[in-house]
Amino acid sequence: QSVLTQPPSASGTPGQRVSISCSESSSDIESNYVHWYQQLPGMAPTLLIFKNSQRPSGVPARFSGSKSGTSASLAISGLQSEDEADYYCATWDDSLGAWVFGGGTKLTVL
Protein backbone atom coordinates (compact mmCIF):
# COMPACT_ATOMS: atom_id res chain seq x y z
CA GLN A 1 0.00 0.00 0.00
CA SER A 2 1.28 3.39 -1.00
CA VAL A 3 1.93 6.03 1.60
CA LEU A 4 3.07 9.40 0.35
CA THR A 5 4.94 11.37 2.99
CA GLN A 6 5.25 15.13 2.90
CA PRO A 7 6.63 17.48 5.52
CA PRO A 8 3.69 19.11 7.30
CA SER A 9 5.13 22.58 6.92
CA ALA A 10 7.63 24.65 4.99
CA SER A 11 8.49 28.31 4.95
CA GLY A 12 10.52 30.91 3.13
CA THR A 13 10.88 34.62 2.61
CA PRO A 14 9.87 36.48 -0.54
CA GLY A 15 12.28 35.83 -3.39
CA GLN A 16 13.68 32.65 -1.86
CA ARG A 17 13.58 29.18 -3.37
CA VAL A 18 11.76 26.51 -1.38
CA SER A 19 11.41 22.82 -1.99
CA ILE A 20 8.74 20.39 -0.80
CA SER A 21 9.42 16.68 -0.82
CA CYS A 22 7.11 13.73 -1.40
CA SER A 23 8.50 10.32 -0.59
CA GLU A 24 6.97 6.89 -0.77
CA SER A 25 7.50 3.67 1.13
CA SER A 26 6.74 1.41 -1.80
CA SER A 27 7.59 1.64 -5.46
CA ASP A 28 4.58 3.45 -6.86
CA ILE A 29 6.40 6.75 -7.25
CA GLU A 30 9.24 4.93 -8.94
CA SER A 31 6.94 3.36 -11.49
CA ASN A 32 4.22 6.01 -11.76
CA TYR A 33 4.04 9.73 -12.31
CA VAL A 34 3.76 12.21 -9.44
CA HIS A 35 1.43 15.19 -9.67
CA TRP A 36 1.24 18.30 -7.51
CA TYR A 37 -1.68 20.45 -6.42
CA GLN A 38 -1.92 23.87 -4.83
CA GLN A 39 -4.79 24.68 -2.50
CA LEU A 40 -5.20 28.32 -1.59
CA PRO A 41 -7.09 29.03 1.64
CA GLY A 42 -10.79 28.32 1.27
CA MET A 43 -10.46 27.23 -2.36
CA ALA A 44 -10.56 24.01 -4.34
CA PRO A 45 -7.16 22.57 -5.22
CA THR A 46 -5.65 23.31 -8.62
CA LEU A 47 -3.27 21.23 -10.72
CA LEU A 48 0.22 22.68 -10.45
CA ILE A 49 2.52 20.02 -11.91
CA PHE A 50 1.59 16.81 -13.74
CA LYS A 51 3.69 13.84 -14.87
CA ASN A 52 6.51 14.73 -12.47
CA SER A 53 7.60 17.96 -14.11
CA GLN A 54 5.10 19.32 -16.61
CA ARG A 55 3.25 22.54 -15.99
CA PRO A 56 -0.33 23.14 -17.16
CA SER A 57 -0.79 26.27 -19.19
CA GLY A 58 -1.02 29.28 -16.95
CA VAL A 59 1.23 27.95 -14.20
CA PRO A 60 4.29 30.18 -13.80
CA ALA A 61 7.70 28.74 -14.67
CA ARG A 62 8.94 29.38 -11.14
CA PHE A 63 7.05 26.23 -10.16
CA SER A 64 8.94 23.09 -11.10
CA GLY A 65 8.78 19.40 -10.28
CA SER A 66 11.22 16.54 -10.32
CA LYS A 67 11.38 12.89 -9.40
CA SER A 68 14.18 10.52 -8.52
CA GLY A 69 13.59 6.95 -7.43
CA THR A 70 10.90 6.86 -4.76
CA SER A 71 11.02 10.59 -4.06
CA ALA A 72 9.59 13.60 -5.82
CA SER A 73 10.01 17.30 -5.18
CA LEU A 74 8.19 20.51 -5.89
CA ALA A 75 10.35 23.61 -6.09
CA ILE A 76 9.14 27.19 -6.00
CA SER A 77 11.64 29.86 -6.93
CA GLY A 78 11.18 33.58 -6.47
CA LEU A 79 8.73 32.93 -3.64
CA GLN A 80 5.78 35.31 -3.51
CA SER A 81 3.25 36.02 -0.78
CA GLU A 82 0.47 34.57 -2.94
CA ASP A 83 2.25 31.21 -2.90
CA GLU A 84 1.17 30.74 0.69
CA ALA A 85 -1.01 27.66 0.40
CA ASP A 86 -1.23 23.94 1.02
CA TYR A 87 0.56 21.71 -1.46
CA TYR A 88 -0.28 18.06 -2.13
CA CYS A 89 1.45 15.36 -4.15
CA ALA A 90 -0.47 12.46 -5.66
CA THR A 91 0.18 9.28 -7.57
CA TRP A 92 -1.62 6.17 -8.73
CA ASP A 93 -1.18 3.20 -6.42
CA ASP A 94 -1.05 0.08 -8.56
CA SER A 95 -1.61 -2.31 -5.66
CA LEU A 96 -4.68 -0.45 -4.40
CA GLY A 97 -5.95 0.46 -7.83
CA ALA A 98 -6.52 3.92 -6.41
CA TRP A 99 -5.24 7.47 -6.40
CA VAL A 100 -3.38 8.44 -3.24
CA PHE A 101 -2.48 11.86 -1.93
CA GLY A 102 0.29 12.94 0.37
CA GLY A 103 -0.71 14.48 3.67
CA GLY A 104 -0.06 17.98 2.39
CA THR A 105 2.50 20.67 3.19
CA LYS A 106 1.50 24.07 4.47
CA LEU A 107 3.77 26.69 2.96
CA THR A 108 4.17 29.92 4.87
CA VAL A 109 5.73 33.00 3.28
CA LEU A 110 7.39 34.91 6.09
Positions in the binding site for other proteins (CB under 8 A): 33, 35, 37, 44-47, 50, 56, 88, 90, 92, 96-104
CB of 80 to other proteins, least distance (A): 22
Q: SS3 helix, strand, coil % of the chain, rounded to 5?
A: 5, 50, 45
Select 46 or 71, whichever has its Cβ closest to other proteins: 46
Select 68 or 94, whichever has its Cβ closest to other proteins: 94
Selection from 64, 78, 80, 57 nearest residue 20 by Cα: 64
Task: Find the largest Cα–Cα distance for the chain.
Answer: 41
Select 78 or 96, whichever has its Cβ closest to other proteins: 96
3-state SS, residue 91:
strand
CB of 44 to other proteins, least distance (A): 4
Compute the distance between CA of residue 12 and CA of residue 16 in angstroms, rounded to an integer: 6
CB of 14 to other proteins, least distance (A): 27
